[in-house]
């Protein structure tokens, strides 16, 4: 793994730097990308710093929006990905057309695709890593930089509920908050849902099936989304819904895509689920991951695997359901 100093030396050498994040971005993907990019723009005003993505920010455009990046921009450029574990999830597939590729991430390094990488699975958010990097290299964190980084950390820690959250996390967010950013506005932007999204959350609860093991799932179809006027990206608001039920300890939310395949969301209160996601063209954190399913047969397989892992977890923890 590279050091922060080695990454910074690479950054200094390139006149053009293009930053990528993962598809269907969450606050941490956009926050880490924006925080690093804005910091580099302020530090190196002579460089061309571009944000690359598929313009799929959706309801999260308040964190950052993308630039119009052409293939020509990649000639001789440094490319940096943030919060992106594997190549299928990189937003904008021109990422490999640059001169050098750096990966900065906090997911398990199952796909070491870059020329240079800094990967810390113990960090709760890529945005926290970016804040660490800026501090280590003596780069001032202004409110414009702190805002997306704070949003990214709040998003990926589940508002500081997930186990990776540490004392260091609170030290970093305190530093970011001291810049004067509106932390209440960020919290509202992350929490607020539209009336249509709220109805979809209710639909997910209605459709939810709970296995005796404590594993649960809900399937949301394209027709469900159309009936409520909700996009596939907006449907991600339902992912945390089953976790509000006390007896549910691991769950899937399956959201049908326009092509008939399914986006698979994994969440857990204990059982490790990222290894399951890796079996289905996905990955992520131990308790929060994503994957894909090509049809309902694979949907059933995904949930059967989740039930098996959940039963094992219950048995090992004394409940033996």
100-147 pLDDT, tens digit each: 999 999 998 989 999 999 999 999 999 999 999 999 999 999 999 999
In whole numbers, what is the pLDDT of the chain averaged over residues? 94
pLDDT of residue 153: 97
From the number of C-beta atoms within 10 Å of its C-beta (0-12, 13-18, 19+), residue 134 rates as buried
Q: What is the pLDDT of residues 77-112, one digit of tens each?
A: 999 999 998 898 899 999 999 999 999 999 989 899
In terms of Cα–Cα distance, which of 102, 122, 144, 127 is closest to 32? 127
pLDDT tens per residue, range 267-293: 999 999 999 998 998 888 888 888 999
Tell me what pLDDT residue 59 has.
Answer: 85
Determine the average pLDDT of the residues in 297-312.
97
- For residue 296, the SS3 value is helix
Radius of gyration over alpha carbons of the chain, in Å? 20
Cβ contact 65:91 at 8 Å: no
Angstrom CA distances, 156 to 126, 140, 223, 288, stand at: 9, 23, 29, 9
Residue 158: the pLDDT is: 86
- Using alpha carbons, select from 126, 177, 191 the residue that is nearest to residue 153: 126
pLDDT bucket at 176, cuts 50 / 70 / 90? very high
Q: At what angle do helices 167-177 and 143-156 cross, to 10 degrees?
A: 150
259 exposure class (CB count in 10 Å sphere: 0-12, 13-18, 19+):
exposed
Nearest to 21 by CA among 77, 90, 104: 90
**Residue 1: Cβ-neighbour burial (10 angstroms; 0-12, 13-18, 19+):** exposed
Domains of the chain: 4-190 (3.90.1640.10), 195-316 (3.10.310.30)
Phi and psi of 159, rounded to 5°?
Answer: 60, 45
The whole-model pTM stands at 0.86
Distance between CA atoms of 207 and 14, rounded to whole angstroms?
51
Percent of the chain with pLDDT over 70: 99
> Looking at 5-19, 56-70, 115-129, 281-295, which range is the least confident one?
281-295
pLDDT, position 46: 98
Three-state secondary structure string covering 50-66? EECCCCCCHHHCCCCCC
Predicted local confidence at residue 16, as pLDDT: 98
Q: Is the pLDDT of residue 318 over 60?
A: yes
- 191-245 pLDDT tens trace: 888 999 999 999 999 999 999 999 999 999 999 999 999 988 889 889 988 988 9
According to DSSP, residue 277 is labeled H
- The answer to whether 218 touches 240, Cβ cutoff 8 Å, is no
In angstroms, rounded to a whole number, what is the distance separating the alpha carbons of residues 16 and 37? 11
Q: What is the pLDDT of residue 42?
A: 98
252 forms beta bridges with 217, 266
Structure token digits, residue 203 = 């639909």
Question: Hey, how many other C-beta atoms are within 10 angstroms of the C-beta on 44?
Answer: 15
């Amino acid at each position: 793994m590279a050091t922060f100093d080695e990454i910074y030396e690479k950054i200094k050498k390139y006149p053009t730097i293009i930053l990528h994040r993962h598809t269907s971005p969450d606050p941490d993907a956009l926050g880490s990308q924006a925080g690093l990019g804005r910091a580099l723009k302020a530090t190196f005003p002579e460089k061309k710093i571009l944000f690359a993505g598929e313009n799929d920010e959706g309801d999260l455009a308040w964190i950052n929006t993308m630039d119009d990046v052409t293939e020509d921009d990649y000639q001789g450029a440094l490319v940096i990905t943030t919060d992106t574990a594997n190549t299928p999830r990189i937003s904008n597939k021109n990422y490999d057309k640059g001169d050098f590729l750096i990966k900065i991430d906090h997911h398990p390094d199952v796909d070491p695709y870059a020329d240079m990488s800094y990967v810390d699975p113990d960090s709760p958010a890529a945005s926290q890593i970016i804040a660490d990097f800026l501090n280590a290299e003596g780069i001032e964190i202004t409110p414009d930089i702190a805002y997306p980084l704070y949003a990214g950390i709040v998003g990926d820690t589940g508002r500081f509920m997930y186990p990776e959250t540490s004392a260091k996390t609170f030290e970093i967010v305190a530093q970011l908050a001291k810049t004067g950013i509106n932390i209440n506005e960020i919290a509202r932007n992350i929490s607020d849902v539209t009336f249509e999204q709220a109805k979809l959350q209710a639909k997910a609860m209605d459709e939810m099936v709970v296995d005796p093991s404590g594993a649960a799932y809900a399937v949301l179809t394209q027709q469900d989304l159309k009936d409520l006027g909700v996009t596939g990206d907006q449907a991600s608001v339902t992912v945390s819904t089953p976790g509000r039920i006390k007896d549910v300890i691991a769950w899937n939310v399956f959201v049908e895509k326009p092509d008939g395949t399914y986006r698979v969301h994994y969440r857990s209160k204990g059982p490790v689920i990222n290894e399951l996601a890796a079996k289905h063209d996905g990955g992520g954190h131990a308790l929060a991951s994503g994957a894909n399913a090509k049809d309902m047969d694979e949907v059933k397989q995904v949930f059967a695997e989740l039930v098996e892992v959940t039963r094992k977890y219950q048995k090992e923890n004394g409940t033996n359901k």
